[in-house]
Structure 1
Amino acid sequence: MRATIRTRLTLAFGGLFLVAVTLVLFAANRMVERAFDGSVNVWSEESQDRHAPPGIKVPSEFDTERVVRAVRADVLSSQWQITLVSIAVMGVMAFGLCWWLSGRALRPVHRITGTARRLSLSNLDERINMKGPRDELKELADTFDAMLDRLARSAADQRRFVANASHELRTPLAVQRAAIEIGLADASPERVAAMRAELLRSTERSERLIDGLLALAQGERGPRMRTPVDLAAAVRRAVEQHATPGISIDLDLRPVTIAGDEVLFTRLVDNLVQNAVRHNHPGGRVTVRVAPRAGLVISNTGPLVDPGRVDELFQPFRRLHPDRTGSGEGAGLGLSIVAAIAAAHDAAVTATANPDGGLTVHVSLPGTAAAP
């Protein structure tokens, strides 16, 4: 049978206490024995020079020593008996008190264990909420409660993400189904061509959504290995790829090299530049700045954004403005992928709504200054 930690604590502390008491009592008895031996020798020497008073019979030296040794034997025998009884009584008391104290000390642990047994992914609302002094067990319970808070938020985010992903995937599938059913009802060349174009657009949207989901999962997993990444070069490539007539792009690039996954960080820069260009208006402007202390700062013009809801843009499938849907060109995962990749690289991403419209996104890299 496996001994519980309460039993092991009782045996350990009770045994140590019993051994310590036994050693002390045995040492005290030995000291008493030596004291008696010294007294007997002194008494024997003094008895040789003792003069008897008139009318009193003084026992011989042999009789005196015999009496003293008898008294010594009786006293020591009684003392050893009392010592053994004391050791037995103190042993029982020590193990009993250790059993009781260990039970009280482990009571919070049993409470934590009971709470953990009752929890599941569908029931993460219960907390320990331990009261008492700030000791190790209180810190353990608070850490467990904080872990449950993170798990509850993660489970809620996961359920919301699955629901949103299912909704986003259902839309192109519904379009494809309708195009096939309606298009095949009248199989004229014109209807077939229109159905083909609609199916291609729906398939491309599904591909972008799946690609975004894979990028989000890869960004949350983090870089497998870190290599030097030229941030300014990644920005130039993204600007060349997403340059659009009617949108002016101003660059202020200084040499900045970071350690990270080149593919992931290139995807981060690409998403930010693409969003800045896509969610803009004709004749708008995009400003990109890269500096050693400032990190990466991208600002654009565009529709007005509620400052109180800017943080929602970093959540998957969250769109705050009809113009930010991109007319079906995006999957609503751009900034959530940016946030996941940045977190995997120990960077921080913040966004601020511009007073005249658009956003300013700041990627604060490790070692750079905080967002202004």
Structure 2
Amino acid sequence: MRAVLHSERARLTALYGTLLVLAGGGLVALVNVLLRKGLGSRVNGAVTTVMPGVPVRAGDPLPDGTAFVPAQKLPPGVAPTEAQLARWAATKNVSRAAEQAALHELTVVSLIALALFAVLSVWLAWWMAGRVLRPVGVITEKARRLSGANLHERIALRGPPGELKRLADTFDGMLDRMEGLVTAQRRFAANAAHELRTPVAVQRAAAEIGLAGDPGPQKVARIRERLIAVADSSEHLIESLLLLAVSEEGLESVEPVDLAALADTELAAAFPSGGSAAAPGEAADAAPTVVRDLAPLTVSGDGALLGHLVRNLLANAVRHNRAGGRVAVATSAAGVLTVSNTGPQIAAADVPRLLEPFRRRAERRHTAGEGAGLGLSIVASIARAHGAELLAEANPEPDGGLTVRVRFPVAPGPGRPGVRRV
């Protein structure tokens, strides 16, 4: 009973019922007030020509032998007679009695009708509140049953457009995003475990098999190089995972960053010769050509994370380029950083997949310089942390490759998504 009394349905019932009863009571009071003002004169006019207990019509003789004459106003200056005053007093008494009887009957009937109206109003209010709150109950029950095993379920509320329909649709949209995040998290954890397990298995195999027995110095040197390479790859993977986690948390503080100068610095580091640099395993003459168009561009953000963003874009552009290809880097005053590279042809449907962690254009072969598949996902995470929009699209033939644009807010203000001010 206590739960019922403290439910939203009971509160809405009390509200609706009270409003309806007040409206009914106000209507009854208004009718009584209006009748009290005009009922007396109307009753008096109706009986003013009739004496109590004497049913007469115009022209009929009265008991004293005189003819019945309707009431008329006395001429000015003429005083009423004793008989006229007596008749007026009797008529007044009849009018007052009729008025009081009519008002009493009206009050009793009105109160009975109001009582019945109040009962009906409360019942209608209870039924209406239940109908209105039924979608809320559906949403509540669905939210109570949600878990990681049934995130695919949706409310799918059917009904006319309204606040509750929008609430249910918003809840369904939130479930879509939650399901996507949970799925991505599970996939990320599984891929991370696989990526970390592989180098550990390689190290173990190298130690147990390669160093078994009494290996010679040359074999020990090869195994040592192999173990160091696997350790370096594992260290790079762990650092990438940590960087991805840090960028997902948002920014601790922001400051003006000259993105054009930062891109120029990263280009100088990636291409020491000033124009080209070979990807791992490539000859120097097969290195891509650099095309730069760095217009002044200053954004608000974290300089270290933005450096990682530019560095990962350049590394991805070099690693997935073709022999003698091209890397183009540009900044614009409109707040856009663009990095484009030639390379293998990429299907447009595969581009969004490349922005997910541990996703590559081809299956991993665990070769030197291959990377862990975290570069573009780290770029996307850093862009989100800076409130920037990341757009990636495949280049048409014959160049192929990928073009990545990071559109930063031109006039960043407080409260940008992903930014925490200190």
Match 1:351 to one of 393, 403, 407: 393
Alpha-carbon contact 1:44-1:61 (below 8 Å) kept? no
Q: Which has the higher helix share?
A: 1
User: Relative to structure 1, is the Cα distance of residues 68 and 357 closer, same or farther in structure 2, using a 3 angstrom cutoff?
Assistant: closer
User: Relative to structure 1, is the Cα distance of residues 197 and 359 closer, same or farther in structure 2, using a 3 angstrom cutoff?
Assistant: same
- Secondary structure of the residue that 2:368 maps to in structure 1? helix
- Secondary structure of the residue that 1:185 maps to in structure 2? coil
Match 2:242 to one of 191, 194, 214: 214
CA distance in 2, matches of 1:258, 1:68: 92
User: Relative to structure 1, is the Cα distance of residues 34 and 283 closer, same or farther in structure 2, using a 3 angstrom cutoff?
Assistant: closer
CA distance in 2, matches of 1:362, 1:143: 30
Alpha-carbon contact 1:225-1:261 (below 8 Å) kept? yes
CA distance in 2, matches of 1:299, 1:43: 101
Identity %: 43
- Secondary structure of the residue that 1:68 maps to in structure 2? helix
* AA in 1 matched with 2:293: D
* AA in 2 matched with 1:361: V
User: Relative to structure 1, is the Cα distance of residues 39 and 287 closer, same or farther in structure 2, using a 3 angstrom cutoff?
Assistant: closer
Q: Shift of the alpha carbon at 1:168?
A: 0.3
CA distance in 2, matches of 1:282, 1:36: 107
Q: Shift of the alpha carbon at 1:266?
A: 1.4
CA distance in 2, matches of 1:308, 1:33: 82
Which residue of the partner structure matches residue 19 of structure 1? 22
Which residue of the partner structure matches residue 75 of structure 1? 102
Equivalent residue runs for 1:247-326 within 5 Å: 247=287, 248-293=289-334, 295-321=336-362
Match 2:134 to one of 107, 119, 122: 107
CA distance in 2, matches of 1:314, 1:43: 93
Matched, 1:134 2:176: no
Alpha-carbon contact 1:310-1:353 (below 8 Å) kept? no
* AA in 2 matched with 1:127: R
In terms of Rg, which structure is larger?
2
Q: Shift of the alpha carbon at 1:257?
A: 0.7
Gaps of 5+ in 1: none
Q: Shift of the alpha carbon at 1:92?
A: 0.5
- Secondary structure of the residue that 1:120 maps to in structure 2? coil
Equivalent residue runs for 1:37-56 within 5 Å: 37-38=40-41, 55-56=62-63
Q: Shift of the alpha carbon at 1:54?
A: 5.1
Alpha-carbon contact 2:44-2:91 (below 8 Å) kept? no
Equivalent residue runs for 1:194-233 within 5 Å: 194-233=222-261
CA distance in 1, matches of 2:119, 2:363: 78
User: Relative to structure 1, is the Cα distance of residues 5 and 186 closer, same or farther in structure 2, using a 3 angstrom cutoff?
Assistant: same
Q: Shift of the alpha carbon at 1:282?
A: 4.8
CA distance in 1, matches of 2:401, 2:33: 91
Alpha-carbon contact 2:356-2:376 (below 8 Å) kept? yes
- Secondary structure of the residue that 2:160 maps to in structure 1? coil
Provide the TM-score with structure 2 as the length reference.
Answer: 0.78
Matched, 1:333 2:374: yes
CA distance in 2, matches of 1:194, 1:159: 37
User: Relative to structure 1, is the Cα distance of residues 322 and 79 closer, same or farther in structure 2, using a 3 angstrom cutoff?
Assistant: closer
Out of 7-16 and 357-366, give the one that drifted further.
357-366
Q: Shift of the alpha carbon at 1:60?
A: 3.8
CA distance in 2, matches of 1:346, 1:296: 10
- Secondary structure of the residue that 1:129 maps to in structure 2? coil
User: Relative to structure 1, is the Cα distance of residues 187 and 227 closer, same or farther in structure 2, using a 3 angstrom cutoff?
Assistant: farther
* AA in 1 matched with 2:392: T
Alpha-carbon contact 1:307-1:352 (below 8 Å) kept? yes
Measured on the aligned residues, the alpha-carbon RMSD in Å equals: 3.0
Q: Shift of the alpha carbon at 1:281?
A: 4.3
- Secondary structure of the residue that 1:327 maps to in structure 2? coil
